[in-house]
Amino acid sequence: MSPLDKEKITKKILFIIEQKKDIEKLLSEKGKEEILRDPWLIKGLKYSLQTAVEAMIDIIYHITAKHFNKAPVDARDALNILYNFKVIDEKELTLYSKMIGFRNKIVHGYEEVSPEKVIEAAENNLDDFDKFVKKIKENFLQ
């Protein structure tokens, strides 16, 4: 096991929090219909959600490589490593896998992510980032 770069993890966590706050600010200032009418706002939401999940993935990769000395094949494999080492439970494994799947759809265009789905994710799933951050802090930044 190599030592974790706690500064790197903290920077990624701060980035996730920043993205979440930016999304919350947009949602509080603009109505759903106004956001849906502005393609640039949708693109901004997509980007903020995507990059917040990418920061999660970076953290997961770092922890699996440095703390558990495992080289994951992909992000879901990295989650499975955390699950196997009892860092996350089955519910969290499913939740974070869905978040990664959403990010993959945005990035790779496996299917069109509708503006409505983007708004729905922004309105209903931001607390999932808080759960992830809390779990990482509890297990690796104490």
Cα angle, residue 124 at apex, residues 34 and 87 outer, rounded to 5° = 145
Give the chain's residues under pLDDT 50: none
Question: Half-sphere exposure (CA, 13 Å, Cβ side) for 20?
Answer: 19
Q: Which of 23, 57, 70, 21 is nearest to 42 (CA)?
A: 23
pLDDT at 142: 85
pLDDT at 110: 67
Q: What is the pLDDT of residues 60-101, one digit of tens each?
A: 999 999 999 999 999 999 999 999 999 999 999 999 999 999
Q: Residue 114: phi, psi to the nearest 5?
A: -70, 150
pLDDT at 109: 83
pLDDT at 87: 97
Helix (H), strand (E) counts: the chain: 7, 0
Q: Which of 85, 96, 86 is nearest to 52 (CA)?
A: 96
Distance CA 70, CA 15 (A): 25
Q: Residue 5: phi, psi to the nearest 5?
A: -90, 90
pLDDT at 121: 96
pLDDT at 62: 98
